[in-house]
Amino acid sequence: MDTPSFDVVIAGCGPTGAVLAAELRLHGVRVLVVDPETGPASFVRIVALHMRSLELMAMRGLLDRLLAHGRQRPAAGFFAGIPAPVPRGLDSAHAFLLGIPQPVIVRLLEEHAIGLGAQVRRGRAVTGFEQDADGVTVGLAGGERVRASYLIGCDGARSTVRKLLGVGFPGEPSRTETLMGEMEVGVPPSELAGVGAPHRRFWLRPFGGGVYSVVVPAAGVADRAQPPTLDEFKRQLRAVAGTDFGVHSPRWLSRFGDATRLAERYRTGRVLLAGDAAHIHPPTGGQGLNLGVQDAFNLGWKLAAQVRGWAPEALLDTYETERRPVAAEVLDNTRAQMALSSAEPGAEAMRRLLTELMDINEVNRHLTEKIAATAIRYDFGDGPDLLGRRLRDIDVAGGRLYDRLRSGRGLLLDRTGGLTAAGWADRVDHLADPTAALDVPGVLLRPDGYVAWVGDDQRDLDDHLARWFGSPPA
């Protein structure tokens, strides 16, 4: 077969695809990203970055750039829209939510990937592929064929890559549908104060410049490929609120459902899935973009290790074993949140009960951390509670921990001064710092910031370095 012209082709240049491309480029992997759209969506839907995603952006030096374009809000009231204070004891230096326009975050992440050397070709859809023992031949719209070692489907809920791969996507179809758009209204702002209830999928919120974000339940489930009309919005507003508020001059109109699906597997040979191509769920709690971005951070360094030739056996398979259970938990918590949005008496009673329980700080923090993805613990085997968890951005010599992770390499944080990762110096940095704000002797961090080892025994450390970073170079 022909020699691959790229190491990795990524289908889809949304947040997941752009982050994955950047992560691969940190390790010198040759990346091509293709997307059928000629540019990011023009409509200004606001998306949310939760604590774990903010931490990951900080680890790559992107957070300040994003903060300049977003609006911070307290880390509270995430679960089913139940009003609650910010829980005490959140374990993050970035304990807030960042609302940011979707076109802006897509543009910033794409620019980041291109700045690191990724090639992005817009207006080019994947039309087919064939994989063999040495790589994947990918067909693009227009008849072009490119050769790569791996193909990654980050091409959304209707993923062409997933369908061509023959991977099942079981789950539940949409049972309810919601209309969303931005438009002007024909009544004074004073008449809109307090209108709607987010858990009922209904609100009118000022966006600026006389434009309002309008969300209202649809009458039924329609083809999501067909955008709703302004007349449909008016009918539904009258049905729900008794008035259409004189809405007019829409900027954009769309609809979303509550379909919940999880891919049967994330990898078949040299083709993998990430983001919405692997899992979809209702937007309740604002977790979708975050789940996909975190997939990319998990997969990027592992796929790079495979391409560069130092990956331990089965390292790439840990992408699915770690991330698919996380997605399954997100699907379950969105199912629960959707059930709490029902107007049925049983759901109303459950919502009142949960509202009372949220007054207990431990309950409030547990649900907040579940949505924010800071409670994730990967199964790395027996060991201290810190093993398999991400480490917060702590003070270290000369600054902050996350600043030491910008290269996408592993890091040995050593408070003893007697440990070494010298045999893996091409993959793992070493910071000897007895003053680090850490209550264990030493930790080995993976490139995605998760703790792969805890202790002070060099022989045990060497075993874990080999487990995650392969054999030392000769």
Specify the long-range contacts of residues 72-78, CB closer than 8 Å, at least 24 apart: 72/96, 72/97, 72/98, 72/99, 73/97, 73/98, 73/99, 75/51, 75/368, 75/372, 76/364, 76/368, 78/50, 78/285, 78/286, 78/367, 78/368, 78/371, 78/372
Domain boundary among 257, 287, 321: 257
221 part of a folded domain: yes
pLDDT at 200 over 90: no
**CATH code for the domain of 112:** 3.50.50.60
Q: Which of 17-26, 35-44, 447-456 has the lowest mean pLDDT?
A: 35-44
Tally Cβ neighbours within 10 Å of residue 302. Answer: 22
**Is 436:395 a contact under the CB 8 Å cutoff?**
yes
Name the residue among 28, 27, 35 with its Cα closest to residue 9.
Answer: 35
**Is 77:84 a contact under the CB 8 Å cutoff?**
yes
Rounded mean pLDDT, 54-60: 98
Domain boundary among 236, 257, 278: 257
**What is the DSSP code string of 80-136?**
GG---PPPTT---TT-EEEEEEHHHHHHHHHHHHHHTT-EEEET--EEEEEE-SS-E
Q: Do residue 103 and residue 122 come from a single domain?
A: yes
For 233, the token pair is 């919005």
What is the sign, positive or negative, of the torsion defined by CA atoms of 316, 317, 322, 325? Answer: positive
Instruction: Band the pLDDT of 43: cuts 50, 70, 90.
Output: low
Name the residue among 194, 178, 205, 180 with its Cα closest to residue 341.
Answer: 178
- Name the strand (E) or helix (H) holding 206: strand 202-208
389 part of a folded domain: no
Instruction: Band the pLDDT of 459: cuts 50, 70, 90.
Output: very high
Q: Do residue 31 and residue 124 come from a single domain?
A: yes
Distance CA 176, CA 67 (A): 34
**Is 392:91 a contact under the CB 8 Å cutoff?**
yes
Q: Do residue 143 and residue 276 come from a single domain?
A: yes
Q: Does residue 182 sit in helix, strand or coil? A: strand
Q: How many structural domains compose the chain?
A: 3
Instruction: Band the pLDDT of 256: cuts 50, 70, 90.
Output: confident
Which residues make Cβ contacts (< 8 Å) with residue 67, sequence separation at least 6? Answer: 98
Q: Do residue 153 and residue 218 come from a single domain?
A: no
**CATH code for the domain of 240:** 3.30.70.2450
What is the pTM assigned to this prediction? 0.95
Q: Do residue 165 and residue 27 come from a single domain?
A: yes
- The amino acid at residue 98 is L
Instruction: Band the pLDDT of 199: cuts 50, 70, 90.
Output: low
Q: Do residue 279 and residue 362 come from a single domain?
A: yes
**Is 273:167 a contact under the CB 8 Å cutoff?**
yes
Rounded mean pLDDT, 436-443: 96
Q: Do residue 252 and residue 299 come from a single domain?
A: no
Rounded mean pLDDT, 173-178: 91
382 part of a folded domain: no
The phi, psi pair for 59, rounded to 5°, reads: -65, -25
Q: Do residue 358 and residue 450 come from a single domain?
A: no
Instruction: State CA 138 to chain mean position distance.
Output: 26
Distances (CA, A) of 102 to 15, 41, 47: 9, 8, 6
pLDDT of residue 342: 84
Name the residue among 72, 1, 4 with its Cα closest to residue 32.
Answer: 4
Q: Does residue 204 sit in helix, strand or coil? A: strand
pLDDT of residue 131: 97
* pLDDT above 70 coverage of the chain, percent: 98
Q: Do residue 455 and residue 343 come from a single domain?
A: no
**Is 441:429 a contact under the CB 8 Å cutoff?**
no
pLDDT of residue 474: 79
Distance CA 42, CA 50 (A): 23
Q: Do residue 190 and residue 125 come from a single domain?
A: no
**Is 54:142 a contact under the CB 8 Å cutoff?**
no
197 part of a folded domain: yes
Rounded mean pLDDT, 87-104: 95
**CATH code for the domain of 459:** 3.40.30.120
- The amino acid at residue 85 is P
**What is the DSSP code string of 26-93?**
TTT--EEEEESSSSS-SS--EEEE-HHHHHHHHHTT-HHHHHTTSEEEES-S-GGG---PPPTT---T
pLDDT at 19 over 90: yes
Rounded mean pLDDT, 225-245: 93
Distance CA 354, CA 82 (A): 8
* pLDDT above 90 coverage of the chain, percent: 84
Instruction: Band the pLDDT of 192: cuts 50, 70, 90.
Output: confident
pLDDT by residue (tens digit) across 267-295? 999 999 999 999 999 988 999 999 999 99
Residue 127 pairs in a beta bridge with none
Domain boundary among 257, 288, 321: 257
Mean pLDDT across the chain: 94
The one-character DSSP state at 450 is: B
pLDDT at 434 over 90: yes
Q: Do residue 66 and residue 129 come from a single domain?
A: yes
**b (16+ CB within 10 A) / e for 163-175:** ebbebebeeeebe
pLDDT at 2 over 80: no
Instruction: Band the pLDDT of 70: cuts 50, 70, 90.
Output: very high
pLDDT by residue (tens digit) across 215-232? 999 988 887 778 899 999
Distance CA 105, CA 62 (A): 11
388 part of a folded domain: no
């990898």: which residue's tokens?
A: 267
Per the model's pLDDT, the better-predicted residue between 37 and 342 turns out to be 37
Rounded mean pLDDT, 178-195: 89
Per the model's pLDDT, the better-predicted residue between 46 and 270 turns out to be 270
Instruction: Band the pLDDT of 401: cuts 50, 70, 90.
Output: very high
pLDDT at 337 over 60: yes
Q: Do residue 29 and residue 164 come from a single domain?
A: yes
Which ranges of 187-284 would DSSP assign to H, the alpha helix?
A: 230-241
Instruction: Band the pLDDT of 3: cuts 50, 70, 90.
Output: low
Give the domain range for residue 104.
Answer: 6-170+261-372
pLDDT at 389 over 70: yes
- The sheet carrying 96-101 orders its strands as 46-49, 96-101, 71-74
